[in-house]
Amino acid sequence: MSMYRHQLYRTWLSLRHRPQLRNWVYGTVMLSTLYFLYQFISPSDSRQTFPLESYVEPELLPQSVWDNRAERVKKAFQHAYHGWEQYAAPHDELKPISNTYQDNFNGWGVTVFDGLDTMALMKLDHEYKRALKHVEDVEFKLEEGKYAPYFETVIRYLGGMLSAYALTEDPILLRKADELARKLDPVFGTPSGLPYYGVNPDTGATQGPAIGILAEIASLQLEYTYLAKVTGKKEHFDRAQNVINIINRANYDKTGGMMPIRWNTTDGTPFDQSLSAGAQADSAHEYLLKQYLLTAKRDQESLQLYIRTATQLITELMYISPTRHLLYVTDKVPSRTSHTAQISHRFEHLSCFLPGLLALGVQELPLDDIDFMDAFDKDHPAQRAQWEKLRGFSLRDVHLWAAQGLAQTCWLSYADMPTGLGPDEMLFYTNMPEQGAWGGGWFAPKTAAGGARPMTRTGGGTLWVDALRSWKRSGARGVPPGVGDKTPVVYSKEDRVRGAFGRDYSIKKDEYLLRPETVESLYLLWKVTGEARWRDRAWRIFEAIEVHTKTPAGYASLRTVQTSPGVKDDDMPSYFFAETLKYLYLTFIGDTPLPLDKWVLNTEAHPFPVIQWTAEERERFRVGY
Ligand code: DMJ
């Protein structure tokens, strides 16, 4: 021992006289200490899941297992809702880490309104009773100078009350829904009748620019049509119908038949040529198909616009990634250098509602009966050009492939992450020339950069659409390009440090906001195809939610999905109650209380029953379809 001490002393003496060597030794000791500390506190990359069940092929699982899983979702709902009741009531949302609250949607308790119908579906009678009392007491008031955001208030509050009314027939809900709609009504004071961004429900003052955002001005048709049905009031019907008329008579020649993002609320015309499947547009596209379904398949014009929109999305905004051949849907945004719009290759979590919507259309529409749908006017050059692009394919096939391919990519964006939860936004690579791999438009006769590019190194100018055609000609065995299961690519810590490229995309926003879109689509794919793999994926997502987002009081968004365990954020959005947990629950239960041909879910997953107008209503409302 004393020999070691002596040795150390001698070393220290010699270092005192050699400052360079001393600094080097001190530096090395410091760095090693830091490295070891980091190893202790840094998150590991290993995927954490429940070790509760060994893996069984999902199609072999009896319904009793799925029933238990549905029960688990119900418990999760109760855990989160009780947390809100304990720490956040009567405010909007619980902050599930600090156990405080935030008032980000008017302060009327949006969590209750969004969660009501899920409580009814889950038969959570005690919670529902307490929630109903809250609804009855709310006065929908805001201080002067504050404005209720119209779109969010409609889809969450109005939609929540109306769907709970549809399920329970509690008269309070209808009375409060009608009261809220009346207080919001000044938003329709624009010259066109398209809604302003916001309104003060007490003073009637409105707020918002003259240029409106598509999702915010054209996602009210379902709520107001159903409200008209249950209240018998023509004014509600007219509000919905005016929006439908405006979007139906607009000219979409410059946008390939699809509604652009920005609208002039003065004259009710499209303002630009930006196109999006996700942010700022999503629910407006969704409401085209859903309005047709809600009106018992009578509103033919909404159907036709939906078909033209889907065609544009498929032929212009869907792309295949270079090496994994993942199908994704992107947007066209204004270019910084010219007046034209350019493909961004962004893929948003928000767009993951689209595979579910397409699957719903596959189930409910006579997609191959082009004459019945009459969606393309062959004498109209722009519409004829759109129709030509998919000629030779069965529309039903193409919509189903798109639904499956996109749902696969949405699911992979979760499975690729060490948390098993997906990022909010990705950016796809278009070309990987060093690997001889090019991405390109799925059905477009041109690729990302606008010119024809080879599909593979040896492809010599082959385009994806040609690959699709030759796949079809050669007997259509297996699945077409862009469709079919792919293996997840989970990066290790080292992969991330050295900048790996194996996924075909980089992550632009790596948070997970407890959003519903992917589980929404998994639910619809499961219902429409009956394939248990979709149901199984929903369960894996629920497992990951339990492992990575649960807190003692609720569930928390993640700041990043890229390290395991996930890094939590102090936020639990109300749509987690309305949508995420509802879709998971509906995916696992056996007999559905909401058959797809009898119920239509609004964009916040609030279900309304399909409407049959009586002769008297048709006449009084002047129903034109
Ligand atoms: C929900 O509030 C609605 O689905 C809306 O239409 C857009 N997305 C959010 C949740 O992600």
What are the DSSP calls for 492-533, one per residue? -HHHHHHT--TTSEEEEE--B----HHHHHHHHHHHHH--HH
Q: 444 pLDDT band (50/70/90 cuts)?
A: confident
Q: 229 pLDDT band (50/70/90 cuts)?
A: very high
Q: Is residue 383 part of a domain?
A: yes
What stretch of H or E contains 22? helix 19-41
Query: pLDDT, tens digit, for every residue of 556-613?
Result: 999 999 999 999 999 999 999 999 999 999 999 999 999 999 999 999 999 999 999 9
The DSSP line for 547-599 is HHHB-SSSB--EEESSSSSPEE-S---THIIIIIHHHHHHHHSSS-SS-TTTE
pLDDT at 380: 93
Q: Is residue 566 part of a domain?
A: yes
Q: Is residue 437 part of a domain?
A: no
Ligand 1 in reach of 575 Cβ (< 6 A): yes
Check residues 54 and 95 and name the one with the higher pLDDT.
95
Check residues 450 and 486 and name the one with the higher pLDDT.
486
Alpha carbon of 516 to ligand 1 centroid (Å): 8
Q: 25 pLDDT band (50/70/90 cuts)?
A: low
- The whole domain housing 589 covers 51-429+461-621
Q: Is residue 300 part of a domain?
A: yes
- Integer Cα distance of 498 and 490 in angstroms: 14
- Integer Cα distance of 598 and 609 in angstroms: 6
* Count of domains forming the chain: 1
The position carrying tokens 């021992």 is 1
Q: 464 pLDDT band (50/70/90 cuts)?
A: confident
Query: 45-49, 65-69, 244-248, 425-429: which range is least confident on average?
Result: 45-49
Distances (CA, A) of 459 to 432, 439, 456, 466: 14, 12, 5, 11
Residue nearest atom 1 of ligand 1, based on CA coordinates = 604
pLDDT at 39: 39
Assess whether the previous peptide bond of 90 is cis (omega < 30° from 0).
Answer: yes
Q: Is residue 26 part of a domain?
A: no
- The total of other beta-carbon atoms located within 10 Å of residue 22's CB is 14
The position carrying tokens 């009081």 is 553
Q: 547 pLDDT band (50/70/90 cuts)?
A: very high
Q: Is residue 15 part of a domain?
A: no
pLDDT for residue 336 is more than 60: yes
The tokens of 260 are what?
């652009």
* Most confidently modeled range among 41-55, 232-246, 475-489: 232-246
Alpha carbon of 515 to ligand 1 centroid (Å): 7
pLDDT for residue 452 is more than 50: no
pLDDT > 90 in the chain, percent = 76
pLDDT at 5: 53
Q: Is residue 350 part of a domain?
A: yes
Query: pLDDT, tens digit, for every residue of 521-532?
Result: 999 999 999 999
pLDDT at 596: 98
What string of H, E and C letters represents the secondary structure of 393-419? Answer: CCHHHHHHHHHHHHHHHHHHHHHCCCC
Q: Mean pLDDT throughout 198-226?
A: 98
Q: Is residue 444 part of a domain?
A: no
Ligand 1 in reach of 512 Cβ (< 6 A): no
Alpha carbon of 130 to ligand 1 centroid (Å): 25
- Integer Cα distance of 2 and 585 in angstroms: 70
The tokens of 610 are what?
């399909």
Query: 66-70, 323-327, 471-475: which range is least confident on average?
Result: 471-475
- Domain CATH code at residue 309: 1.50.10.10
